[in-house]
């Protein structure tokens, strides 16, 4: 795809219409690794929606070269961005993301904690069991507790 077409998709991320933004993300994901160099600068955008959508595209692309940039966004002040960064890392199935997913088990956003547990299950790394157990013991949200319990069960199979 031409640079002009990629830039057109990127400009659609700024649309006020949620469906147009979602369609642009789908188009960027379809481009795969070709879109990654254009998406990475968007992780620094001042608009959290742009950061979120860039992470959403990276989550679908699963390019492990972007892991370090995605990891940095797990400290974003906006909970939606941290959630999507956690989701993207969980989709990448790379050993470098495991410590970050463990850290995200204690994020202040409940959905981010659930997504982190899911990513740990997908990793299949049983060394995370003590960390997941510890997170379960300190978790106060009953829905998140259920996710953690399920994650522990799946990893112990």
Q: pLDDT (tens digit, 9 = 90+) per residue, 59-78?
A: 999 999 999 999 999 999 99
Q: b/e string for 118-137 if b means 16 or more Cβ within 10 A? A: bbbbbbebeebeebbeebbe
Confidence of residue 1 (pLDDT cuts 50, 70, 90): low
Q: What is the DSSP letter of 62?
A: -
Cβ distance 42 to 13 under 8 Å?
A: yes
The model's pTM is 0.92
Cβ neighbours for 75, distance < 8 A, ≥ 6 positions apart: 82
């Amino acid at each position: 795809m031409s640079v002009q077409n990629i830039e057109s998709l990127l400009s659609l991320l700024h649309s006020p219409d949620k469906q147009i933004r979602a369609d642009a993300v789908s188009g960027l994901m379809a481009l795969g690794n070709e879109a990654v160099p254009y998406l990475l600068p968007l992780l620094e955008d001042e608009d959290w929606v742009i950061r979120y959508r860039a992470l959403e595209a990276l989550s679908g692309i699963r390019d492990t070269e972007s892991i370090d940039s995605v990891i940095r966004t797990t400290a974003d002040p906006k909970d939606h961005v941290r959630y999507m960064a956690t989701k993207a890392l969980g989709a990448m199935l790379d050993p470098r993301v495991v410590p970050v997913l463990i850290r995200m088990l204690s994020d202040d956003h409940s959905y981010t904690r659930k997504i982190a547990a899911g990513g740990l299950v997908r990793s299949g790394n049983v060394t995370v069991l003590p960390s997941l157990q510890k997170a379960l013991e300190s978790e106060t949200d009953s829905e998140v507790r259920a996710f953690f319990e399920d994650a522990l069960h799946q990893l112990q199979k």
